[in-house]
A and B are shown apart, each in its own frame.
Chain A
Amino acid sequence: MGEILKSIFSVGTLNQMLRSATPVALAAIGGSMTEHAGIMNIGMDGMILMGAFFGALGSYLFGSAAAGLAMVLLMGILVGLFFALFVVKLHSDEFIIGCALNTFALGLTTYLSRSIFGSAGTKGNPALPKLHLPLLDKIPIVGEVLNNHSIFVYLTLIFVIIMWLYVYKTPQGFWLRASGEKPETLRTAGISPEKMKWIASILCGIFCALAGAHLSLGQLNGTFAENMVNSRGYIAFACVIFAAANPAKAYLAALMFGFFDAIGLRLQKHVSPELTGMIPYIITIVMMVYVVVRSQKKKRTKAQQKA
């Protein structure tokens, strides 16, 4: 028992926490944008998968992680445009389109992966660099936790700050939130709410694709395996809802997911991995129960205001 506890409460767990949290956090930043624009985006899982695949493909084809990353950005924008085309322009049901996007992404990446790489997928392609900050070496524990991560682990923190500022501190952020909360207000002010929704969709596509890039090019060395996203898009969506689309809070929620994911990985030595793998998802369910209770209260308040 003591051994188990030791392995749970270790530096390695915290280190793993950051790694596990990063893709979820990146996707949750993107999801916060669409959420503020009033779009229920459950298509993030597919968006991440596209990013993961095309990152690996780019790296494989051009033999460079940078080329992979460029491809990821391009795909992110395309997926965002695709999503907005149906949801914003053609007024399709966002839930259905999200589902379709997930199914489509799974089918497309599996098909392409098998035809290009064969059934085993690909690995060992050029990956993104890990960052080593000599300064951190001097600090015990903290240094061990924070150092030697893929570059995305650090970039995510910067993205969180930038997007938090964007949403809450810039005029465009106000418009974004107004476009979801009361689009007519924006329209009568002479700003197109649809434009804000397009922007939100594209941003979401980019951040989700980056989340995928972290999985294939950052965390694993240029690896792609079928369905490697493993429902992280849904976890990210849960984080968005949990955080009321505040990117900073969504990041904390992602860290929480990362923490339990890390614990699950540690426990694998002692308990069956199928069981430990459930931990983060159970936590997600608990989070969602809390959210439902909270949103019901909110709904009641809203109904009250309407009356």
Chain B
Amino acid sequence: MKDQNEIAVSFSHVSMQFPGVLANDDISLDIRRGEIFALVGENGAGKSTLMNLLYGIHTPTSGEITVQGEKITQFSPKNAIAHGVGMVHQHFMLVPSFTVAQNIVMRQEPRKLGLFFDNRAAEDITRQLVAEYGLQVEPSAVVQEISVGLQQRVEILKAFYRGADILILDEPTAVLTPQETDELFDVIRRIVAEKNMTVIIITHKLGEVMAISHRVGVMRKGKLVGVEETAHVTQRQLASMMVGRPVLFDQLARTGTRGAVQIAVEDLTVQNDRGLRAVNGLSLQVHAGEVLGIAAIEGNGQSELLEAIAGMRPVTGGSICICGQNAVGRTPGEIRAMGLAHIPEDRLATGVSKDASVQDNLLVGKHMLPEFNRFGFHQDTRAIAQYSQQIYDSFDIRGSGIDMRVGDMSGGNMQKVVVAREFSFDTPVLLISQPTRGVDVGAMAFFHSRIIEKRNSGCAILLVSADLDEVFRLSDRIITLYEGEITGEFDPSAISKEEIGYYMTGSRSGKELAHEEA
């Protein structure tokens, strides 16, 4: 029977001090058996740290954690597992070259002759788990060859195999499609109801908090600022609690008119890193003063498309015109000179030089400009510092100053450096990929309004984002991509997210739709 008063996990005055950062500050919280508890907060608020303490990855500086009535004295994942705590990390903890079954049984492997790994038994165990929890996955499949959605199932099954009845899910929906998210939530609801499990979900998507949780805890700057019954709060209230001030998600004001075609892609084919066709005969146009959003599940050619337009990936067929000039076969530098700026999807790999300072990162691409450079070789450090400081302030970048090493900044501030730099070129064309990945609610609103400002000033913007809400919010038009082909084009005000989801998974396409209508 479900006992509302039974406590599964209890934090009592828990603090965690990292060098220079108080990640958790005197947190006391009880989580009940059989409930779905959502833990929300901005990036760096300390949610993951708190859960890592529960999972024994760190030892708290002070305070006590009690699990199922037992005080934890030794903090290690091993001990946490022994107490029935399981965790599905944001970045999956799976060995890519091992099979599903081999990953699930790790550390508690079935053995033959007490010595050898019993692969058949491991697959049988997996099949039993699959049947018991209704999470369909093929035991003998190699993990690196299955989708992220399936990999997540493997992670969950792994936790169950280890006997978890308190399950921590860290940002579980970040990599899922709307349909996969719904499926995951169904599974969570079912196991909580059937097995009386306790589930803790770390997230920053407030819509999901409302959809699935019984109670919600809000963290801000290491402190727990409130615990509420989900039914008694609104998203707006939660957002304000997270940020510490009212967050205004104003309707983004769109002004200006659609102008000439600035990006024209015709019958484009591009290969991925494996030499397979990632973009397949794709054509699109982006006009001045509009945002064209691409909705697609990761790995359907959107990354390759943007890289090809930016000149970072060779084109195998078709044409690309930027502001009327042919961009095929040109270097990224030449294409930028045509009037393109690019916010790349992986800011650590291609967006910033993480060992360089904020100032150096802001100046990339501008070193040879006469205002920063004397005689073609001498850097005018004073002008550069002045310029950097001005951008630093106007973009509200928060750090120790323009000399700060970019690699030491939070994801949101690092992204501000990238966006500030790319926007400062004042180009007629912008490629924007994952503008707010890993960025908190407050900064997200900031980026959104800046992007729309750019649009209103006549920029042609091609946007890719894994966050469907974002695509809907920012785009004037949305196209869906599946396996490198466009499956549909939509007006965001005339279609639902669920509907778009079908086009993203290729289960529906524009052609069929036309057929149905006919």
Contacts and interface: CB of A to CB of B under 8 A. Distances in A.
A173 B117 CA distance: 9
B102 interface: yes
B260 interface: no
Contacts, number: 78
A191 B96 contact: no
B115 A300 contact: no
B379 to A, nearest CB: 32
B277 interface: no
B98 interface: yes
Interface of B is mostly: loop
A265 to B, nearest CB: 40
Interface in A161-208: 165, 169-171, 173-175, 177-178, 181-182, 184-191
A307 B95 contact: no
Given A188-B93, A307-B303, A171 B275 contact: no
A196 to B, nearest CB: 12
Contacts of A181: 95-97
Nearest to B144: A305
A177 B143 CA distance: 15
Contact of B275 (A184, A186, A300): A300
A74 B144 CA distance: 41
A303 B307 CA distance: 14
Interface of A is mostly: helix
A178 B105 CA distance: 13
Contacts of B55: 188
B116 interface: yes
B95 A185 contact: yes
A184 B98 CA distance: 15
Nearest to A173: B117
B273 A304 contact: yes
A171 B109 contact: yes
A170 B106 contact: no
B68 to A, nearest CB: 18
Contacts of B196: none
A10 interface: no
8 contacts: A171-B109, A175-B106, A175-B107, A178-B106, A190-B78, A304-B273, A307-B273, A307-B346
Interface of B: 55, 57, 76-79, 81, 87, 89, 91, 93-98, 102-103, 106-107, 109, 111, 115-117, 144, 272-275, 298-299, 303, 346
Sort A-B residue pairs by CB-CB distance and give the 8 closest, nearest first. Answer: A190-B78, A300-B273, A171-B109, A304-B273, A189-B107, A185-B93, A188-B93, A178-B95
Given A184-B89, A188-B89, A190-B107, 14 more contacts: A169-B116, A171-B117, A178-B95, A181-B96, A181-B97, A187-B77, A188-B93, A189-B81, A189-B106, A300-B275, A303-B273, A304-B273, A307-B299, A307-B346
